[in-house]
Amino acid sequence: MNTSNNVLNMDEIRGQFPILHQQIEGHPLVYLDNAATTQKPQAVIQAITDFYTQCNANVHRGAHHLSDEATRRYEKARDTVANFIHAHDRKEVIWTSGTTEGINIIANGMAQRLQSGDEVLVTEMEHHANLVTWQQACLRSGATLKIAPIHDNGTLDTEAFAALLSQKTKMVALPHVSNALGTVNPVKELTALSKEQGALVLIDGAQSIAHGNVNVSDIGCDFYVFSGHKLFGPTGIGVLWGKEKVLQDWPVWQTGGEMIAEVTYESSTWGELPNRLEAGTPNIAGAIALAAAIDWFTSLDLNAVQAHEQALMASALKQAQAFEGLTIIGNAANKMGVLSFILQGCHPADIGFLLDRQGIAIRTGDHCAQPLMRRLNLPGTARASFSVYNTLEEVDALFIALKKVQNMLA
Ligand code: PMP
């Protein structure tokens, strides 16, 4: 599917997503809720079917053909992820159930190491997964949670961020891209600033992973977490990437089979990476299907993907700016994937409902970012979020439908 002229073949791409070809309420489905979860190409659906029809067995422990084949596909999937995110070593890729679990593994370990006087720095634009988890780790350990403010336009106040960093800062956790605002944070620069103070850095990659090249080595962070389901893969699988030297003695998360070295009735020792952080039978089919998703995604020209998504965003912003009564929430110059907005006199929930009646799927509400909504003085927003399979015609359809919504509610 690589294109030489940086243009995607949209019919071919959309043809691979069976779910997109249906009518909702008599209208063609326009799926603009990609920040919540992406749809799955046929290759991913097929990878799940193939696993269960060809080689379903448990991994690493079988003395038979099916187990060997399941293990081969499962461990190959780890290589696929490692290559995709430019990890130094496959051992650095830990399977999780998603972004939330990845953050919890690190916060749980950190809570055992933090003490009173230590600080954890997050931002005002966190998803609850990266706020509540650190808040609770701080409450358990006696450390202090610091919140780096944003400007009114939805960009991080990087000067305030830098001023909050000190030798007391043991952990910095922030999103690569905000799910509520679309703001792209300068994670490489922020990581470098944090590292100058000796802090560990976790990047929440839930919203960035499906939009182009993520290079964890280049960013320089210690941990990068994401969910498979936002990257064209299935639910229930995700990735915690961490630098080998940091992860190798990270406090174990869950205990049980697979993660041990030696066990007696009295005590146990832990295995090596990646197994030490992967207790129990993993989501084998999920990992294999996530690799199929990555293979599908990387078969596209990723520069063309980015150009296409920028064109979608540019069209959406242009139409939103010209739309009377509409206010865009989050006006960062560098935005990715997400258009959040409010419409004068219209409750976001009503907008969502009435767009759905026209076949258009968006998300409304607080986007799992209640403190951010409070900071912006909003009950919530309507959010359209774009993916590679969306078209400029679908962006137009959103604004035509929105005009009808406005007329109905006015
Ligand atoms: N962080 C961000 C920025 C997100 O957008 C999401 C999902 N909305 C999460 C974390 C949590 O992801 P998951 O529910 O897949 O664990």
Range of the domain at 197: 46-298
151-159 CB contacts, 8 Å cutoff, 24+ apart? 153/330, 153/331, 153/332, 154/125, 154/178, 154/181, 154/182, 154/183, 154/329, 154/330, 154/331, 154/332, 155/183, 155/332, 155/333, 156/123, 156/125, 156/183, 156/185, 156/186, 156/190, 158/186, 158/189, 158/190
> Which of 298, 324, 348 is where one domain is finished?
298
> Which of 282, 298, 314 is where one domain is finished?
298
**Ligand 1 atom at minimal distance to the Cα of residue 229:** 15
- Tell whether 2 is covered by a domain: no
pLDDT digits (tens, 9 = 90+) for 104-135: 999 999 999 999 999 999 999 999 999 999 99
Verify that 139 and 176 share a domain, yes or no: yes
Residue 410 pLDDT level (bands cut at 50, 70, 90): confident
CB-based contact 203:185 (threshold 8 Å): no
Q: Ligand 1 within 6 A of 34 CB?
A: no
* pTM of the shown model: 0.97
For the annotated catalytic residues, the residue numbers are 368
Q: Rounded to whole angstroms, how far apart are CA atoms 75 and 66?
A: 14
Verify that 113 and 211 share a domain, yes or no: yes
- Mean pLDDT across 239-255: 97
Q: What SS3 class is residue 340?
A: strand
Residue 3 pLDDT level (bands cut at 50, 70, 90): very low
**Ligand 1 atom at minimal distance to the Cα of residue 36:** 8
Verify that 184 and 312 share a domain, yes or no: no
pLDDT of residue 50: 98
- Tell whether 3 is covered by a domain: no
Strand partners, 225: 204, 240
Which residue has a Cα nearest atom 12 of ligand 1? Answer: 99
Q: Ligand 1 within 6 A of 390 CB?
A: no
Residue 1 pLDDT level (bands cut at 50, 70, 90): very low
pLDDT digits (tens, 9 = 90+) for 301-351: 999 999 999 999 999 999 999 999 999 999 999 999 999 999 999 999 999
Q: Could you say which DSSP state residue 353 is in?
A: H
Separation of CA 63 and ligand 1 centre (Å): 38
Instruction: Please report, rounded to a whole number, the percentage of residues in the chain having pLDDT higher than 70.
Output: 99
- Tell whether 196 is covered by a domain: yes
Residue 7 pLDDT level (bands cut at 50, 70, 90): confident
pLDDT of residue 4: 42
pLDDT digits (tens, 9 = 90+) for 75-105: 999 999 999 999 999 999 999 999 999 999 9
pLDDT of residue 236: 98
Q: Ligand 1 within 6 A of 233 CB?
A: no
Give the contacts of 243 (CB within 8 A, at least 6 positions apart). Answer: 88, 92, 222, 223
236 φ/ψ sector (left φ>0, alpha ψ -120 to 50, else beta): left
- Mean pLDDT across 25-52: 98
- Mean pLDDT across 260-287: 97
Number of domains in the chain: 2
Which residue has a Cα nearest atom 8 of ligand 1? Answer: 36
Altogether, the residues listed in the chain come to a count of: 410
CB-based contact 268:262 (threshold 8 Å): yes
Verify that 247 and 278 share a domain, yes or no: yes
Sequence-ordered strand ranges (E) for 102-204? 119-123, 144-148, 169-175, 200-204
Verify that 158 and 256 share a domain, yes or no: yes
Strand partners, 119: 144, 169
pLDDT of residue 131: 98
Separation of CA 35 and ligand 1 centre (Å): 9
The two structure tokens encoding residue 24: 């909702």
Verify that 204 and 244 share a domain, yes or no: yes
Q: Ligand 1 within 6 A of 183 CB?
A: no
**Ligand 1 atom at minimal distance to the Cα of residue 129:** 10
pLDDT of residue 119: 99
Q: Rounded to whole angstroms, how far apart are CA atoms 349 and 380?
A: 9
CB-based contact 194:319 (threshold 8 Å): no
pLDDT digits (tens, 9 = 90+) for 180-200: 999 999 999 999 999 999 999
Q: Ligand 1 within 6 A of 194 CB?
A: no
